Amino acid sequence: MKNLQPISRVLIALAAVLMVSAYFLPLWQILMWAPQYPEGLEMDIWINDIKGDVKIISALNHYIGMKHIEVAMFPEFQYMGYIVGSLIGFGLLTSLINKRIMLWSYVVLLVATGVAALVDFYLWGYDYGHNLDPTAPIVVPGMSYQPPLIGTKQLLNFTAFSGPDIGGWIFVVSALLVMGALVFEMCTSRKKVA
């Protein structure tokens, strides 16, 4: 098994350490604007909590039959910290063990975790926006209110945006650093062969 270049080991360790920010910064954000809320409403998703204008958003959503937003409705909050801790640990272990197969494994693990997180968020959004209370004060036949997975979407008179918050962007940078290390390893390996 081939060893990693020193720069790759540094990039991997740096990427893992950057992920510690997930415990201190919001990972995802949902922003909403409407004529009656020109300043916007914000919901920040942290590793184990939801903050921001959650009560206002939840109350507004209840009028159209959506469930109240509560931390208890996200079982993921109970184990997200362990998942992030495992990613950090695996990254540091990859840097320490110094084998290219570990780097490949780490890239696969990061991509799989990112995809799983997006799928989980999509499924939650689908359930939240489609399973509506038929006795709600405002019922628009055939209308669903699934928030956007990433990007902007019009929901009645609200424009909703969903995307990474600062902690999420740090995670993206971390993943790019690890992938950059893999690309660097592949390029240096080809140069040695040539």
DSSP label at 135?
T
Q: Count of alpha carbons within 13 Å of 62, Cβ hemisphere only?
A: 9
Look at residue 190 in the predicted model and tell me its pLDDT: 73
Look at residue 59 in the predicted model and tell me its pLDDT: 86
The tens digit of pLDDT for each residue in 55-97 reads 998 888 888 888 888 898 899 999 999 999 999 999 999 999 9
Low-confidence ranges of the chain (pLDDT < 70): 1, 191-194
Residue ranges covered by each domain of the chain: 6-187
Residues 6+ apart with CB under 8 A from 68: 58, 61, 62
Look at residue 192 in the predicted model and tell me its pLDDT: 65
Q: Are 175 and 43 in contact (CB under 8 A)?
A: no
The tens digit of pLDDT for each residue in 120-131 reads 999 998 988 888
Look at residue 136 in the predicted model and tell me its pLDDT: 82
Look at residue 145 in the predicted model and tell me its pLDDT: 85
Residues 6+ apart with CB under 8 A from 91: 12, 13, 15, 16, 19, 106, 178
Look at residue 6 in the predicted model and tell me its pLDDT: 92
